[in-house]
Structure 1
Amino acid sequence: MNGHRGEVMRSGHRRLALVSLAAALSGCAGGAEDIEESMGALQQAATCSYSVTTNTYDGPDYWGTLVFKNTGTSAMTSPTVAFTVPSGVTCDHDEAGWKHTQSGTTCTYSRTTGLTVNAGASYTFYYSTTSSASFTAGNVQISDPSCGGGTTEPPPSSDMTANQRKVAEAITSIWENDTPTLAYAYAENIWDGRGYTNGRAGFCTGTGDAIMVVECYKNLRSASNGNLLAKYMPGLTTINNRFLSTGQNQASTAELDALGNWKSDWAASYNNTTTRADFKSCQDQVVERLYFSPSINEAKKWGLTSALSKAAFYDAYINHGSLSTFIKAANTALGNSAQTAPAVGRNGITESAFLQKFLEKRRDVLYNDSTWREAVDRVALYEKLRRQGNWDLNTAVRNDVRARDCWGTTYPASGYTVRQINPDGTWSTPSSYTYSCN
């Protein structure tokens, strides 16, 4: 997801942790405004367009009724219904075709068979609990594979060439996986408070983006057709509902561990040549929707046109979950305190100047928090490319640069492995190199 990412270091690997919506950490992805922006993007991508027209629970009859209307433009095919009940109350009945789980006060009902709710149609959902007192279900959430990912892959962002995009993604993969090769099969609990971290972009089970990958994959391939991850949807939904209702990262993996070996099943979904294409496609789709397209759109909004600026925006989006803090700082530093878009071309503002101030603010955010500090070198590469004028990413890129090479020796060295990425996206590990920001 992912401010919902804060850097966590481990040998050979670096990932970001979701920051609690209530946290007030210095340099924490720019503060609550950025976190709310990131949360909003996840909710918009993962939930359906619907309205709840009836929400009652009759205590004397131990019977609840929820009626929801599909106000979207496509049919729901296997909806999940989640809501909260009063403390101490247990959901205790499954209607035909439904199966429920409960975590704390959150009850989550998933389909055991398909169910179509056409656009404009309504569905009446019934449930029962142990409560003899009447109440109104809280935080009702309806999700469906058609809302969080489907069978049609979105068109990739067209403002970069295919090779420029390969280079941009390979650079970010160095920071995420210590290799320019996208790590689709990766799955690990790195104990950063976000559950399992997975795949090419570090999709997390506790931050709302891993469930989008699994929903998409479930829509493409059923459990009977080799989908090893479909069985985790009830557990993922329970975790995700807590994430959405609290605005806090979810560390628990117990809901998944009770259903199987998550790490093994995630890796096998990519390593199995039969299922690889579908699983890879879903990871690519979620990256496109949550990170790449928003990055391109922000660059266009503020008047940045180069592949380098778009690559820098993409990496920041993956790293922090939002660009607001950095964009505001760049505008303010360049005299555009009113945040008037586009900025480039306004009162002499150049793309180089805007990118420079953007990177400097991102450098400061990373450096000023002890958890993130060692990740500051990832910003230095974009500064080096800016100074070199490699705007089109049409000459080879090496990450043989540290923050201390650009901005002084007070900055720590991260120890990222130096790689060379060629303009066509191929890469190698150089046998020798010299650190420099020029």
Structure 2
Amino acid sequence: MKYTVRALRLSLAVPLLTAAALAGCSGPAPGTPDVGLNDPAKKRIAMRLVSSAENSSLDWEAQYPYIEDIGDGRGYTAGIIGFCSGTGDMTEVVERYAKARPGNPLERYLPALRALEGSAAHTGLGKPFTRAWAKAAEDPAFRAAQDAERDAVYFGPAVRQAEEDGLGALGQFIYYDAYVMHGAGDTEGTAGFRTMRREAMAAARTPARGGDEKAYLNAFLDARVAAMVEEPAHSDTSRVETAQRVFVREGKLRLETPLRWKVYGDAYRIEKG
């Protein structure tokens, strides 16, 4: 995915809420146990939802060897969430792999990857690199490196922030998907996750601050759509409007199955978690 920014935890001053106030909220009270995306079954659903948008497939585990230039100005896009050669997270995946498997065939491309951060070019990479990436996906250590990068830079920060905001599994997924596509911070005039969250909080209160969960999620999705249409590579907003917005409207705040949605005109369904 997109521009790598190390996890930034934003502290929120959460006011004490009375039982009567909490009764008006559609989300859980802060600290209330809830099955979120850290639950293995819910995390698998999140991975499948992201894969439907990133790879037009629910089979997210088949995406470890994937690599191509999709013409979005970020060089090669690859792997389970679309790590990019131009944004730094692909470099970090290969660095993790090199630590686990020194001397692996991808390690020699690290100087070229580091030099290409911020560029759409393929200098020093090309077909030998793409073949090596696909081949490396046969190695469990390389798949583990992709998993670790996803969790450290995208999944973990998104879920933690959503939990602090009092959001259930759907809200956690909505945050995670925004992290995957846009990264944490703004880049080259394009809004990142933190800007979207700030704009959403200006329009609606989070459940942690006594707000209605559906109203807040719609405000966040409004901010995300506004950012997407400003970037040509992301101007198709169907992963929001015919997927996430549908789940909010249906009240699937815990990502309850069955789930049915569309992305880029293709229909998907998950009958069981």
TM-score (norm 1): 0.51
Identity %: 31
Displacement of 1:310 after TM fit? 0.5
Q: How many residues align?
A: 236
Whether the 8 Å contact between 1:326 and 1:362 is mirrored in structure 2 is: yes
Match of 1:301 among 154, 159, 164: 164
Between the aligned partners of 2:107 and 2:227, the Cα distance in structure 1 is 38
Q: Which aligned pairs between 1:392-403 and structure 2 lie closer than 5 A? A: 392-400=254-262
Q: Are residues 1:169 and 2:42 paired?
A: no
Displacement of 1:422 after TM fit? 3.1
Q: Are residues 1:235 and 2:116 paired?
A: no
Between the aligned partners of 2:125 and 2:202, the Cα distance in structure 1 is 45
Q: Which residue of structure 2 aligns with residue 80 of structure 1?
A: none
1:273-322, Cα deviation, whole Å (9 max, x unpaired) = xx2x1111000000001100110121122222x11110111101101112
- How large is the Cα RMSD of the aligned pairs? 2.2
Whether the 8 Å contact between 2:72 and 2:233 is mirrored in structure 1 is: no
Whether the 8 Å contact between 1:167 and 1:422 is mirrored in structure 2 is: no
Between the aligned partners of 2:37 and 2:48, the Cα distance in structure 1 is 17
More helix by share: 2
Q: Which residue of structure 2 aligns with residue 187 of structure 1?
A: 67
Q: Which aligned pairs between 1:91-106 and structure 2 lie closer than 5 A? A: none
Q: Which residue of structure 2 aligns with residue 222 of structure 1?
A: 102
Q: Which aligned pairs between 1:142-181 and structure 2 lie closer than 5 A? A: 160-181=38-59
Between the aligned partners of 1:174 and 1:330, the Cα distance in structure 2 is 25
Say which one has the larger Rg: 1
**Structure 2 unaligned regions, length at least 5:** 9-34, 185-192
Match of 1:197 among 52, 64, 77: 77
Between the aligned partners of 1:230 and 1:194, the Cα distance in structure 2 is 20
Residues 382 and 191 (structure 1 numbering): CA distance in 2 closer, same or farther, change over 3 Å?
A: closer
Higher relative contact order (CA 8 A, sep 6+): 2
| One-letter amino acid matched to 1:202 | G
Displacement of 1:368 after TM fit? 4.3
Q: Which residue of structure 2 aligns with residue 246 of structure 1?
A: none
Whether the 8 Å contact between 2:37 and 2:43 is mirrored in structure 1 is: no
Displacement of 1:158 after TM fit? 7.4
Q: Which residue of structure 2 aligns with residue 384 of structure 1?
A: 246
Q: Which residue of structure 2 aligns with residue 252 of structure 1?
A: 121
Between the aligned partners of 1:230 and 1:290, the Cα distance in structure 2 is 21
Whether the 8 Å contact between 1:164 and 1:423 is mirrored in structure 2 is: no
| One-letter amino acid matched to 1:234 | P
Between the aligned partners of 2:233 and 2:133, the Cα distance in structure 1 is 28
Q: Which aligned pairs between 1:8-407 and structure 2 lie closer than 5 A? A: 38-39=4-5, 41=6, 160-182=38-60, 183-223=63-103, 227-239=104-116, 243=117, 249-257=118-126, 261-270=128-137, 272=138, 275=139, 277-304=140-167, 306-322=168-184, 323-334=193-204, 343-346=206-209, 348-374=210-236, 376-380=237-241, 381-400=243-262
Whether the 8 Å contact between 2:74 and 2:86 is mirrored in structure 1 is: yes
**Structure 1 unaligned regions, length at least 5:** 5-37, 45-156, 244-248, 337-342, 403-413, 425-438
Whether the 8 Å contact between 1:331 and 1:354 is mirrored in structure 2 is: yes
TM-score (norm 2): 0.79
| One-letter amino acid matched to 1:358 | F
Whether the 8 Å contact between 1:195 and 1:252 is mirrored in structure 2 is: yes
